[in-house]
Chain A
Amino acid sequence: MKAIEVRDLVKVYGHEVRALDGVSLDVEGSTVHALLGPNGAGKTTLIRVITTQLKPNSGYARVFGYDVTKESSEVRSLIGYVPQEVSLWSDLSGYENMLMYSKIYGIPREIRRRRIEELLDFIGLSEASGRLVRTYSGGMIRRLEIAIALMRNPRLLILDEPTIGLDPGARSLVWDKISEFRRENGVTVFFATHYMDEADKYADYVTLLNQGRVVSHGTPNELKRHVEGNKVLITLKNNTDSSRLSEVLSSVPGVAISSFDNNCLELVISDVPTRLPAILEKIFVSGYSVSEVKIREATLDEVFIKLTGRRISDESGRMKEVVSVRKMIRRGG
């Protein structure tokens, strides 16, 4: 059964801001589905419609078959939700926050205390639970919020930018906990993010959203097929006569030289595992030596740029070194 079904959804704020401009998407049950897009794409708006906070202008959204506007209380009973902004009372302790939400959520008195303690232990906040939330780090806050969302044993967990502003260590800890809970409970996870690496790494399916429209969707690997070939950076040992090498390499099929300055050669290769050895062979045979090879996998960011002409975020695009063979391929040196 589909966990979420969205069709032709339009949401206009006031009279002019068209935050959602005909969005359709499906989230299959028991999958992890990412909604990836830059700031202002409409991710939060879509999540707020799905979580019954906002009424759409047209189109519909269903959660496990229940319409979010007509059957909103059924929808609310099935979801756990962590909003983009902090949703804790900072002047209460971590434990008190859980206690208050457990009462608001109507967790039966008999199991309340045990459930809270189990969850605090699960997310590693048992020791800090007596401290005021004001003193928590960003990662602790996010983990506590996720624990609160899990308290009701939701069938669908909806997370709006679950790791926004966290450092890499805290981000992976948050995801470890989400993954661990999923392994045990098989909950469906739908999350919004503008970190493309996070969507790539943790999601089974990704929907790319830009300016209120779905740009593309599929598994991360399917999406990456939009970008032809991977980038390969080859650093040569000595200063080289670029024109001669260019000539040599242009005879190899499936290779394009995207730049060549000083001794740094950037190639786009469509099938790295079979073609790269042949290229290196050519380089060696022609009498050059290589000091470093870097292979960069296509990123969802590149897919996004290719499809929309914009970047997802400024922090991405970092060189991802899948293979760094430093000073290993050396011939004649």
Chain B
Amino acid sequence: MRSIRLEPLFSMAEMELRRLRHDPFEIITRAVQPILWVAVFGSVMAKIRAFPSVGDYVSFITPGVILQSSTFISLAYGIALIFERESGILKKLLTSPIPRSYVVVGRALAGSVRASTQYVIVLASAAVLGAKIISNPLNLITGYLVLVLACMGFTGLSILIASLLRTRERFMGIIGAITMPLFFASNALYPIEVMPDVIKYVSLANPLTYTVSALRKLLVSNSYDILQETLILTCFTVLAIGAAVKNLRRIIE
């Protein structure tokens, strides 16, 4: 009984994977930028020893750079719902027997699956470029699951923004305005200690910080002390998806 009820959720993630198989272009182009971050920015900063406290800098920024490209993909995912709103897909999904929340949770999972492809690409490239990544499969898999959880939250946030703004132009404007600041006001590129106070507070309220922190512990320091991060990310994801479910009605009015 349970598996029957959950299948519609997973089928949306399956749909996303099938789309990726037909057209992997976005995933590959999205990976170029993070690879350059690691290769150019990472190597330069490592050479000048800008942040001596963090140890090997290339390893340090690898989790941050994974998040950079995967949050961008997650946050842009809402545009798919705006397209589907203009097409008939959303109308059809909302008249099918599945509950409305499934549409949001399923799509959040789908967006997260798409975004988390960056994990593999960036980790592999970083390893080639000399990052010292813990190779224990358990760490790698746990890291992936943490990333999926966080990306579901960011996709949920994106769906929420799409529901509220409803046009491509407004959506792209807002997403363009928030993604870079979100990235820079986090611990993705530098440790929180070196930030000015204001940015420090912003970054402590930034879910990206906790995702990067968890991945850094798992993949660089080989530590499983990620309970706090996981709890915070779970709250963020539940809140974002909950708000998106509550506001989905607006996208179809």
Contact = CB atoms under 8 A, between A and B. Distances in A.
Interface size class of A (residues with CB under 8 A): 20 to 34
Contacts, number: 82
B98 A104 contact: yes
A86 interface: yes
A198 to B, nearest CB: 20
B95 A53 contact: yes
Contacts of A88: 89
Contact of B19 (A52, A53, A81, A91): A91
A89 B92 CA distance: 12
Given A53-B95, A76-B95, A106-B98, A87 B88 contact: yes
B47 interface: no
A51 B95 contact: yes
B22 A106 contact: no
Given A86-B88, A106-B8, A81 B14 contact: no
B87 interface: yes
A22 interface: no
Contact of A103 (B14, B22, B95, B99): B14
B253 A104 contact: no
Nearest to A52: B95
B106 to A, nearest CB: 8
B225 interface: no
Contact of A87 (B5, B18, B89, B98): B89
A138 interface: no
A53 B250 CA distance: 11
Contacts of B91: 48, 51, 53, 81, 83, 85, 87
Contact of B94 (A13, A53, A86, A91): A53
A79 interface: yes
Contacts of A51: 91, 95
A88 B7 CA distance: 19
Contacts of A82: 88, 92
Interface in B1-48: 4-5, 7-8, 11-12, 14-15, 18-19, 22-23
A84 interface: yes
Given A77-B97, A100-B15, A104-B11, A91 B23 contact: yes
B13 to A, nearest CB: 11
A246 interface: no
Contacts of B11: 100, 103-104
Interface in B168-202: none
Nearest to A78: B97
Given A92-B18, A104-B8, A85 B88 contact: yes
B252 interface: yes
Contacts of A54: 252-253
Nearest to B11: A103
A85 B86 contact: yes
A13 B14 CA distance: 36
A103 B88 contact: no
Interface in B133-173: none
B96 A87 contact: no
Interface string A259-297: 000000000000000000000000000000000000000
Contact of B97 (A53, A86, A96, A105): A105
B19 to A, nearest CB: 5
Given A89-B15, A91-B23, A104-B11, A81 B92 contact: yes
Contacts of A89: 15, 19, 89
Interface string A101-118: 101111010000000000
Contacts of B12: 100, 104
B19 A100 contact: no
12 contacts: A51-B91, A52-B94, A52-B95, A54-B252, A81-B92, A82-B92, A87-B88, A89-B15, A92-B18, A106-B7, A106-B8, A106-B98
Interface of B: 4-5, 7-8, 11-12, 14-15, 18-19, 22-23, 86-89, 91-99, 252-253
Interface of A: 13, 48, 51-54, 73, 76-77, 79, 81-89, 91-92, 96, 100-101, 103-106, 108, 132, 148
Given A52-B94, A96-B18, 17 more contacts: A13-B253, A51-B91, A52-B95, A53-B252, A81-B92, A86-B87, A86-B88, A87-B92, A91-B19, A100-B18, A103-B7, A103-B8, A104-B12, A105-B8, A106-B97, A132-B22, A148-B92
- In the complex, the 8 A-B pairs of residues with the closest C-beta atoms, listed nearest first: A83-B88, A87-B88, A103-B11, A85-B88, A87-B92, A83-B91, A51-B95, A104-B8
